[in-house]
Amino acid sequence: MTLVAEPLVAEPPVVEPAPSRFTPATTRPEPRPLVDPAWPIIPLTLGMPIAYFLGFGALVWIVPALGFAVPLIRRRSLCMPACALPLAALVLWIPVTALRLPDANSLGVFAYRWLIWVSALTGMLWLCNTSTLRLATKRIVDMLAFLWIVLVGFGYLALMFPTTAVPSLLQKLLPTGLATTQFINDLTIIRFAELQTFIEGTVPRPAAPLPATNGWGSTLALLTPFFILSWLLAPSRRRRITGWVLAAIGVVPLAISTNRGAWLSIGLGLVYFAIRRARAGDARPLFAVVAVGMLAVMAVTMTPLSNTVSARLSETAASNDTREDVYKLAWAKTLDSPVLGYGAPESADHSPPIGTHGLIWYAMFSHGFPALALLLIALAALFCATFKARTPAALWAHICIFMAITQLPYYGLLPQFVLVGVAAGLCWRENHPELANRA
């Protein structure tokens, strides 16, 4: 195994991307393989609509763990960036905390959540060990951008069919006792929206193809950098125009979702990009972000969307109080089991469950303070190691990691953490083409 050591602290001065959007191929492309090297990520992106309606929408997130792990293990030499080591340590630590599970019936859900972490790690390592000549960065970016469009499409299905809740094919095939458990039911039922009642009435908040609205908003936000790169910054003028139309269409379900966390992370991500470009001497993105922000606010405040947004904001205090209560309970109970945690969130006698509504609280409560430390170190390592983005693709992948960090306190990020691993792999590969193309 080849270990590639990199500094975990960014080195000034900041080197901004070259004009090209992706690392150029300087040699003849490799022969086309019999099996598509991207096959484990295809169900997660291009195949998501089909997978969701069949009931497999939750399972596609763990396909990278199953599809990439074996080929990576069988390689004679494996390029293992130093920035991936804390994440690998976290993946190895989590199974130890299974000792704290209340009973054997919890092992299935525990294994599923653990495989999501494995998918994030293997997705990153797969990209670090796959030549850009064998699998172009542009293709991965386009697939992730397609998933953004899929989520917007599901957002409109939530508006058109807000009360739809029917069993999927998989749910019908599962044994009754298994299919009716809350966790399995949430993952396999076809339900486009979560209904939330405000003073002004009931609002359908988009959820599919995720089980909950917060998952939909978190995923849409993390995919936004790839949509921007694939469509809004495309070389083709026609594609750029189409991209802006799609972006305008996406404002409606994003606003109706009333996902404050998604709004915040997208806004911070765009501001972060604009500041980086301004430091490099290009102030145009800063003015563009301000202009787009003003247009988005006007589009919401001057349309019927304002009623929904206002109703949601009026209940902000109550929502924050509920979250604060969950966070305090998670901290207090973790002090009683600081090393191993409790193996999983605890829902008994409390709603929402303790150890939810934020990945840092989940990691701390479910897997103890060692897991929380490893998670924070892992994200800091990935952020610093990808800071010096050498291409636009690397920069937007780095921004995805930055946005995930902003979501840590309030979004669970499972299964969305898989996107963080893919983004880290894309950025590392763009920054080290001489190593990636040797893989």
As given in the structure block, the two tokens for residue 213 are: 């609205």
Please list the alpha-helical segments (H only) found in 33-179.
Answer: 48-54, 63-74, 85-93, 107-128, 137-160, 169-173, 176-179
Average pLDDT estimate for 371-395:
96
As given in the structure block, the two tokens for residue 212 are: 């909950």
State pLDDT tens for residues 221-261. Answer: 999 999 999 999 999 999 999 999 999 999 889 988 889 89
pLDDT at 431: 92
Specify whether the CB–CB gap between 20 and 26 falls below 8 A.
no
Q: How confident is the model at residue 32 (pLDDT cuts 50, 70, 90)?
A: low
The residue ranking higher by pLDDT, 311 or 185, is 185
Average pLDDT taken over every residue of the chain:
87
Q: How confident is the model at residue 177 (pLDDT cuts 50, 70, 90)?
A: confident
Average pLDDT estimate for 189-215:
87
Give the angle subtended at the CA of 360 by the CAs of 354 and 366, to the nearest 5°. Answer: 50
Q: How confident is the model at residue 286 (pLDDT cuts 50, 70, 90)?
A: confident
Give the start-to-end residue ranges of the domains of the chain.
35-436
pTM: 0.90
Euclidean distance between CA atoms 376 and 374, whole angstroms: 6
Q: How confident is the model at residue 22 (pLDDT cuts 50, 70, 90)?
A: low
